[in-house]
Amino acid sequence: MLTFTILAAFLSLVLGQLPYHDPHCDGKQVIAHLFNWKWTDIAIECERFLGPKGFCGVQISPPNEHLVERPNRPWSERYAPVSYKLTSRSGTEAELRDMVRRCKRVGVQIYADVVINHMAGVGFSGTGSAGSHFDADKREFSGVPYSILDFNMVGRCPNSDNNIHNYDDVNDVRNCNMGGLTDLWQEKDWVRQKIADYLNSLIDIGLAGFRVDAAKHMWPGDLDVIWSKLHSVNGGRPFIYQEVIAGGAVHASEYYHLGYVTEFNYGEQVKYAINNFDNLRGVVHLDWGMAPTEHAFVFVDNHDNQRGGQLHFDNPVEYKRAVAFTLAFNYGFARVMSSYYFTDRSQPPPHDGDVIKDVIINADGTCGNGWVCEHRWKVIANMVRYRNDVLNTGITNWNVQGDVMWFSRDNVGFFAMGKINFNKHLNTGLPAGQYCDLISDCAKTIDVDNNGMANISPHDGFEPFVAFTTKSKNGARVVFPPEPVQLIPVKEDFKETVIIFLAKLPSGQDLFVRGGIDHKKRTGCETDAKYSACSIPIRHVPLFNSTNFNKYNNWAIGDNFLDWYGSELNQGEFKQQRAYGTPLYLGTNVTNIENYHTFDSDLWIVSVEMDCSKTENTYFELKGMINGVWEKDVPADNICGGNASGQPPYSSNNHWARCGYLNIFQLDKETCFCNTI
């Protein structure tokens, strides 16, 4: 029998969608890599620029605890993990959560660069960015925890120093230390689970996927198992793109079923072709082993190779051509780089001491304070909209005349660029009408006649590019304000809230709770928890330390509200059994409960972060449900015992509980207690 994971992958292939290739951004096609930005600055940039400009998402630097390498604090310390705690040089976990929420509100997904091949390198010890102790020589990382038993050492690595020596030996590449970084043994179940727990913690706060660092140094079979443990994203699989620099014993095709692969050869080919337009049509060489378009993740440069001679912002004229062409062309899924200025390969981001500097936006929309912000350069930023518009179209009408080239994307889009200013009468292949030039923010229009012909010239001769699509036809201006998007602030007040039921249930039965606010007491209540004014947002904290919690952990996935309506749209299942609401689990030795646990019953508990701003002055209703059967009505007008009791806001036949407190009930009884946590 096929396992669920294999069956899902098979169905995805049959239906034309590879399982880890959906970026979850409604057809948008470009990611911006905001290298080493702070979370607070990314949140603002999503709202004021990336969302309005149509970017699909942001690749963030590794968000986990990392090495603190003083005095220089090189950028590479972010790629030397110390634990999977979410405190890094870019900010705290709270700031990360806030950034993800704010970016998603304006349609921008977040993808984390994740380092799961290794931990910090030999020769380093001390405390990481979140305060965890580690000693890499001893392979001790207390914040995970990992010990020497969790790493590839002599026996699995064929070399006595545990380092890679031969890239033509696949065991060397995948079982030895890369550059002295301590290589994790992903074949071990404990390591696989710890990595999956880390990735799931990011999915659970709203991330849509990952860039996987050093993927070629991990066995595809191990990644397959880890990926199978990941939580769903919007009802599907997370978006994954893997750093695979093909060569030697490793072939990129080994990783195709696990997500996109980074196609480094593409950037190299564009670098050498960008000054000879005749060569641009042939930048993709499948016979050389370059990935087919459905597997290729493409870019002109990244944070590594721009420090090793690759074309980058230091040559702005050629660089704009290369990125604009990439976004106009029909190969792969695209990412654009956003850098800071550097003169040394190891130079850290702009900083004052340990603090990364703010990204300052100048009056002309460029960045200051040491930040380059290529994603804001007009030609690059406006080609994002073009790429989105021409999704799933081919290349037609390809032409080169000396220093000018142009082509159409079927009958949907037209693109032209030159090394110098130009003015040509060209066949666009598009329907007749007036079009807005996206490059100029619609300051220029193009009139296409009934034969598809038009006079084509750039708005700015110093930036000789023209791009328009049928979605910018007949005066449909695709222009977005440079000012920050004004959003209505969302009031949130998440506090730890504990719900305990004392109940003796027959073997095999489980206890759930439903609740919120009575529909008669509020307007805007409906049967979809996500949009109902009577449901209350919650965040579960998964329990990872025992298989005893498997049921709860599965049912907690996607349970984002305490509501009256049952299983949520993307809520997890356990052995194909759906949840009946918010799950509770059997617990013992709960602090602050001993004085109240005087009944002949078991203790069922759930601890969540709850948004108290959605309650009635901290109060909310709830009722137990045993495998689909409601508990009895319990007139709850009486004041509960405990040191945090109070007067509920209205009469109810349900239990009353308080957000931010420990709430204790007896199933089918009026008995209740409310205590501080």
CA distance 421 to 404: 9
Residue 409 dihedral angles phi and psi, to the nearest 5°: -105, 90
Please tell me whether residue 323 adopts helix, strand or coil conformation: helix
Is residue 485 within 8 A of residue 52, CB to CB? The reply is yes
Task: Looking at 530-572, list the stretches that DSSP marks H as alpha helix, in order from N- to C-terminal side.
Answer: 550-556
Please tell me whether residue 485 adopts helix, strand or coil conformation: coil
Maximum Cα interatomic distance, the chain, rounded to a whole number of Å: 89
Structure tokens at 426: 């060209």
Is residue 433 within 8 A of residue 417, CB to CB? The reply is no
Residue 549 dihedral angles phi and psi, to the nearest 5°: -100, 15
Strand pairing class (582-583; 585-586):
unpaired
Structure tokens at 186: 């992903």
Residues 6 or more apart whose Cβ sits within 8 Å of residue 436: 442, 444, 445, 446, 468, 472, 473, 475, 476, 477, 478, 479
Structure tokens at 219: 């066995």
Please tell me whether residue 491 adopts helix, strand or coil conformation: coil
Give the number of other Cβ atoms within 10 Å of residue 675's Cβ: 20
SS (H, E, C) 261-290: EECHHHHHHHHHHCCCHHHHHHCCCHHHCC
Structure tokens at 369: 């304070």
Catalytic residue, from 41, 113, 213, 568: name it: 213
Structure tokens at 586: 């059997």
Strand pairing class (511-516; 619-626):
antiparallel
Q: What one-letter code names the amino acid at 612?
A: C
CA distances from 590 to 574, 606, 659 (A): 25, 11, 18
CA distances from 106 to 102, 125, 268, 481, 538 (A): 7, 41, 34, 14, 22
Is residue 477 within 8 A of residue 464, CB to CB? The reply is no
Catalytic residue, from 243, 254, 374, 611: name it: 243
Is residue 333 within 8 A of residue 23, CB to CB? The reply is yes
CA distance 604 to 500: 6
Query: b/e for 560-593, b at 16 or more Cβ within 10 A?
Result: bbbbbbbbbebbbebeeeebbbbbbbebeebebb
CA distance 181 to 117: 9
Residues 6 or more apart whose Cβ sits within 8 Å of residue 586: 548, 602, 603, 604, 605
Specify whether 204 is catalytic.
Answer: no
Specify whether 213 is catalytic.
Answer: yes
Task: Looking at 354-422, list the stretches that DSSP marks H as alpha helix, in order from N- to C-terminal side.
Answer: 378-389
DSSP string of 49-61, one letter each residue: IIHHHT--EEEEP
Is residue 261 within 8 A of residue 255, CB to CB? The reply is yes
Please tell me whether residue 78 adopts helix, strand or coil conformation: helix
Alpha-carbon torsion angle 288, 293, 295, 300, nearest 10: 80
Question: Would you please indicate which residues are annotated as catalytic (active-site) residues?
Answer: 213, 243
